[in-house]
């Protein structure tokens, strides 16, 4: 166990040295290196090597962008012609109409799925972040018996694939009658061992003992210190943990697919796959447009909150 903890911690520290949460822009290079590389860059690289590197990187970029590009192009074609040639180029711009049709077809169930996803991921991520930050802060700032044990168990949980808990959770929920209850999706998702790990690291870094001591002298209660001072100083870390939780819940498929059968309670991942596997009962065109729309919220979230997830991702990274 200790080895695993160390690997995780090493990765974290390497990352923090470069892209720490306190350094929001996260452009990387430490100062000395940055000055040096700027001065040397153009002198030391030949045009040929720049060209080769750019071409190879361009090939990678094409590989990563092609499926998303196809999805966008296909969703913009006239309704029903999503798979017409040319595959990778436009045939008019009908995205607006198509999205409107998506949102109104089947009694607007698609919008319902999106709302469910937002609700599950939002509630799960907020509560999960709160629980994780409390536990992580306590692990970083208080010494109590069993602290190492608690932290060890949390780390072990980080390293066990979450999907392995899904079937046992399903068995347990069907025993206690929680099937088809949104709680069956939300309750497991508010437990984030990785969030505890991250917030312990961040609390140790960003909440100085002196501040806590000063607050105590001023007569602030222990719990008050956490909620009024600790949480405020940990805000960037909390945003990161929130994002990670949100993405993980939004992307989850197996758990909601197993515990929620009622279509109107399903998140968008489960709903779309059910359309996809409906053997043509739902036109594939709707699935294509739905897939594009379902990707947009997370893409926007990622683009706008870049500086936060970069810090968090490099600080340990988990699937």
Partner 1 sequence: MSVVSQIRPPLRKPRTKGRPAHTAAMLVAPFAVFFVAMYLAPLGFAIYRSLFVLKRDGLGLSAPTMVFDPFTNYLKAFSDPVFIESLGRVLLFGVVQVPVMLGLATALALLIDSRSARAKGFFRLTSFLPYAVPGVIAALMWSFLYSGSSSPINALLEPLGVVIPFLSEDMVLWSVANIVTWGWTGYNMIIIYSALQSIPGEILEAAKIDGASAWKIAWNIKIPMVRPALILTTVFSIIGTAQLYNEPKVLQSVSGGSIDSAFTPIMAAQAATAAQNYPYAAATSVILAVLVGILSITFFKITNRGSDS
Q: How many CA atoms lie within 13 A of 316 on its CB side?
A: 25
**In this structure, how many other beta carbons lie within 10 angstroms of the beta carbon of residue 19?**
20
Q: How many CA atoms lie within 13 A of 243 on its CB side?
A: 26
Q: Is 262 in the site for partner 1 (CB under 8 A)?
A: no
Among 24, 39, 45, 93, binds partner 1 (CB under 8 A): 45
Q: Which C-beta is closer to partner 1: that of 164 or that of 177?
A: 164
Query: Nearest Cα to 18, choosing from 9, 6, 30, 10?
Result: 30
Among 39, 93, 115, 167, binds partner 1 (CB under 8 A): 167
Check if the beta carbon of residue 316 is closer than 8 Å to that of residue 241.
Answer: no
Q: Which stretch binds partner 1 (CB under 8 A): 32-40, 98-106, 108-116, 231-239?
A: 32-40
Bin 14: left if φ > 0, else alpha if -120 < ψ < 50, else beta.
Answer: alpha
Among 107, 149, 164, 218, binds partner 1 (CB under 8 A): 164
Site for partner 1 in 85-114 (CB under 8 A): 85-88
Q: Which C-beta is closer to partner 1: that of 255 or that of 265?
A: 255
Query: Nearest Cα to 192, choosing from 247, 236, 229?
Result: 247
Q: Which C-beta is closer to partner 1: that of 265 or that of 288?
A: 288
Q: Which stretch binds partner 1 (CB under 8 A): 90-98, 99-107, 156-164, 233-241?
A: 156-164
Q: How far apart are the C-alpha atoms of 285 and 244, rounded to whole Å?
A: 31
Q: Is 260 in the site for partner 1 (CB under 8 A)?
A: no
Q: Which stretch binds partner 1 (CB under 8 A): 98-106, 107-115, 133-141, 232-240?
A: 133-141
């Amino acid at each position: 166990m200790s080895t695993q903890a160390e690997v995780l911690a090493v990765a974290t520290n390497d990352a923090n040295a470069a892209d720490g949460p306190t350094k929001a822009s996260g452009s990387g290079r430490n100062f000395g290196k940055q000055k040096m590389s700027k001065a040397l860059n153009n002198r030391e690289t030949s045009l040929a090597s720049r060209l080769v590197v750019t071409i190879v990187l361009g090939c990678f970029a094409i590989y990563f962008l092609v499926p998303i590009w196809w999805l966008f192009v296909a969703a913009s074609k006239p309704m029903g012609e999503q798979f017409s040639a040319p595959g990778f180029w436009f045939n008019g711009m009908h995205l607006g109409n198509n999205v409107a049709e998506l949102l109104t077809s089947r009694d607007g169930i698609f919008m319902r799925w999106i709302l469910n996803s937002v609700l599950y991921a939002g509630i799960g991520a907020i509560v999960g972040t709160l629980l994780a930050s409390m536990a992580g802060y306590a692990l970083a700032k208080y010494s109590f018996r069993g602290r190492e044990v608690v932290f060890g168990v949390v780390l072990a949980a980080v390293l066990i694939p979450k999907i392995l808990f899904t079937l046992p959770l399903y068995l347990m929920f069907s025993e206690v009658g929680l099937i088809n209850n949104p709680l069956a999706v939300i309750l497991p998702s508010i437990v984030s061992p990785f969030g505890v790990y991250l917030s312990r690291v961040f609390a140790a870094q960003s909440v100085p003992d002196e501040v806590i001591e000063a607050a105590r002298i001023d007569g602030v209660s222990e719990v008050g210190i956490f909620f009024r001072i600790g949480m405020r100083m940990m805000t960037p870390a909390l945003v990161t943990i929130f994002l990670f939780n949100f993405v993980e819940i939004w992307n989850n498929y197996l758990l909601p697919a197993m515990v929620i059968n009622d279509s109107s309670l399903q998140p968008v991942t489960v709903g779309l796959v059910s359309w996809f596997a409906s053997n043509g009962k739902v036109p594939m065109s709707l699935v294509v447009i739905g897939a594009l729309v379902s990707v947009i919220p997370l893409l926007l979230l990622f683009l706008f909150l870049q500086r936060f997830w970069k810090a968090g991702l490099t600080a340990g990274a988990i699937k």
